């Protein structure tokens, strides 16, 4: 399952050797891409489940946040990126980190403050990015990463580079002024940026009906670029909309706002009992679970055997367990490390992220 370079080994689905994307006409995904989409979603689910247990065991200091039920969004969108594209990944988007090459071991070590964590133990939870994998660590102020992504896109445009910046934010964050500034600037300059809006129905305890009078996707038009809505629990739909937006951005067509409809299936953080969420709403969205839906679809529509799907999930679970054991066995950082890397001594360019989509493997 694991690979030496930290990439997700493509495992048995690939070994079975059907690489023919044209088998289902019009699709941009091969059979092993589809297996990968399931793998990365399951990796996010299992890694977050494991992290929550570690939090309850007192091994995770501070707080704990996850993106349960939203896995299709970070996975489907990040899967559409090329290696030289850049990301600003937020607090519900662990799957995007995994697609780009962060391992569950480094994620779990991060939450436990270990030296092998992505920030080397400097941040206890999800405020991280791996610059070597082309992702800029998130700042907590929402939605400021929309401005960072817009700035990166401006740099790509000024340098004439065919590259795209992609960022995430929740629907609650669209109420802040910085969101307007990012959209407006990106629209004026037709910047190569993709904005992924995750509408999970709540911003902490505030429901959609108290967040906006007009759905934020409608606003894109007024900034001069398209806004598209998509079922955020359908990983292939998210991939397709993002793929189109990335192509558009890369070819000079400017930004796109993609609103992914989903539901936050856990509290805002582990401290939140979400008593304000009606039980029926959770039941309704449980039936739309992105992983269960995709498992069924792989069997019904794409010729996977049920046993093959279970085998993939079993491999991912074993891999995450192995990563957890290694993270637990890893050391805390020495105290003096707290002073290292706080300020940049020299400018270091961002590295490239992993791009597991078969299109990029073929191009390589
Ligand atoms: C400017 C700012 N105000 C408040 C917060 C505290 N805060 C962190 S997450 C959050 C809820 C954000 O809701 P939404 O944008 O819908 O994202 P979700 O957590 O639902 O994914 C809040 C209020 C913040 N990080 N930044
Ligand atoms: Mg929200």
Check pocket membership of 260 for ligand 1, CB cut-off 6 A.
no
Give domain status of residue 1, yes or no: no
Check pocket membership of 141 for ligand 1, CB cut-off 6 A.
yes
Q: How far apart are the first and last CA of the chain?
A: 22
Q: Which of 244, 75, 268, 259 is nearest to 183 (CA)?
A: 259
Q: Ligand 2 mean position to 104 CA, how many Å? A: 24
Strands (E), 187-337: 193-199, 202-203, 206-207, 227-231, 256-261
The verdict on whether omega for the bond into residue 143 sits within 30 degrees of 0, i.e. cis, is yes
Q: Ligand 2 mean position to 211 CA, how many Å? A: 10
Q: Which residue among 96, 125, 142 has the greatest number of ligand 1 atoms within 8 angstroms of its CB, and so is best to mutate?
A: 142
Give domain status of residue 19, yes or no: no
- Report which ligand 1 atom has the smallest distance to the Cα of 264: 20
As a residue count, the chain comes to 364
Q: What is the pLDDT of residue 148?
A: 98
Give domain status of residue 359, yes or no: no
Here the CATH number for the domain that contains residue 230 is 3.40.50.970
CA 241 to CA 263: how far, in whole Å? Answer: 19
Q: Ligand 2 mean position to 69 CA, how many Å? A: 12
CA dihedral 15, 325, 94, 43 (to 10 degrees): 30
Check pocket membership of 140 for ligand 1, CB cut-off 6 A.
yes
Please tell me the number of the ligand nearest to residue 92's CA. 1
Q: What is the pLDDT of residue 344?
A: 84
Q: Ligand 1 mean position to 126 CA, how many Å? A: 13
Instruction: DSSP for 198-227, please give it.
Output: EE-SEETTEEGGGT-SS-HHHHHHHHTS-E
Q: What is the pLDDT of residue 122?
A: 86
Give domain status of residue 239, yes or no: yes
Q: What is the pLDDT of residue 121?
A: 85
Q: Ligand 2 mean position to 180 CA, how many Å? A: 17
Check pocket membership of 170 for ligand 1, CB cut-off 6 A.
yes
Give domain status of residue 304, yes or no: yes
Give domain status of residue 3, yes or no: no
Check pocket membership of 156 for ligand 1, CB cut-off 6 A.
no
Check pocket membership of 267 for ligand 1, CB cut-off 6 A.
no
Check pocket membership of 207 for ligand 1, CB cut-off 6 A.
no
Domain enclosing residue 155, as ranges? 30-331
Backbone phi, then psi, for 198, in 5-degree steps? -100, 100
**How many domains is the chain built from?**
1
- Report which ligand 1 atom has the smallest distance to the Cα of 173: 15
Q: Ligand 2 mean position to 239 CA, how many Å? A: 20
pLDDT digits (tens, 9 = 90+) for 100-136: 999 999 999 999 999 999 999 888 788 899 999 999 9
Give the pLDDT of the chain (364 residues) as one tens digit per residue. 444 333 444 333 343 444 544 444 478 999 999 999 999 999 999 999 999 999 999 999 999 999 999 999 999 999 999 999 999 999 999 999 999 999 999 999 999 999 999 999 888 788 899 999 999 999 999 999 999 999 999 999 999 999 999 999 999 999 999 999 999 999 999 999 999 999 999 999 999 999 999 999 999 999 999 999 999 999 999 999 999 999 999 999 999 999 999 999 999 999 999 999 999 999 999 999 999 999 999 999 999 999 999 999 999 999 999 999 999 999 999 999 989 888 888 989 999 999 999 999 877 7
Give domain status of residue 360, yes or no: no
Give domain status of residue 345, yes or no: no
Q: What is the pLDDT of residue 16?
A: 42
CA 156 to CA 100: how far, in whole Å? Answer: 19
Distant-in-sequence, close-in-space partners of 120: CB < 8 Å, separation ≥ 6 = 333, 337, 341
């Amino acid at each position: 399952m694991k690979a030496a370079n930290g990439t997700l080994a493509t495992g048995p689905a690939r070994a079975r050797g059907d690489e023919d994307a044209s088998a289902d006409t019009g699709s941009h995904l091969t059979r092993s891409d589809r297996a990968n989409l399931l793998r990365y979603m399951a990796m996010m689910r299992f890694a977050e489940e494991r992290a929550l247990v570690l939090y309850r065991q007192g091994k995770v200091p501070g707080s704990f946040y996850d993106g349960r039920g939203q896995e299709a969004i970070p996975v489907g969108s990040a899967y559409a990126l090329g290696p030289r594209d850049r990301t600003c990944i937020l607090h519900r988007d662990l799957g995007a980190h995994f697609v780009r090459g962060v391992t569950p071991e480094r994620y779990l070590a991060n939450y436990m403050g270990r030296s092998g964590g992505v920030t080397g133990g400097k941040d206890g939870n999800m405020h991280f990015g791996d610059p070597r994998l082309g992702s800029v660590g998130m700042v907590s102020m929402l939605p400021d990463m929309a401005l960072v992504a817009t700035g990166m896109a401006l740099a790509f445009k000024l340098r004439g580079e065919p590259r795209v910046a992609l960022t995430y934010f929740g629907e609650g964050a669209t109420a802040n002024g910085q969101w307007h500034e990012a959209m407006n600037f990106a629209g004026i300059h037709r910047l190569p940026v993709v904005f992924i809006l995750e509408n999970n129905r709540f911003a902490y305890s505030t429901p959609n009906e108290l967040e906006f009078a007009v759905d934020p996707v409608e606003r894109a038009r007024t900034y001069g670029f398209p806004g598209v809505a998509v079922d955020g629990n359908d990983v292939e739909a998210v991939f397709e909309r993002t793929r189109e937006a990335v192509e558009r951005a890369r070819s000079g067509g400017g930004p796109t706002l993609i609103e992914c409809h989903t539901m936050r299936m856990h509290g805002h953080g582990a401290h939140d009992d979400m008593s304000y969420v009606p039980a029926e709403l959770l039941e309704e969205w449980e039936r739309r679970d992105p992983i269960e839906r995709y498992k069924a679809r792989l069997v019904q529509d794409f010729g996977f055997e049920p046993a093959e799907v279970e085998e993939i999930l079993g491999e991912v679970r074993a891999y995450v367990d192995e990563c957890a054991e290694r993270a637990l066995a890893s050391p805390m950082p020495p105290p003096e490390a707290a002073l290292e890397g706080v300020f940049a001594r020299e400018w270091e360019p961002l590295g490239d992220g992993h791009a597991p989509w078969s299109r990029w493997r073929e191009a390589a």
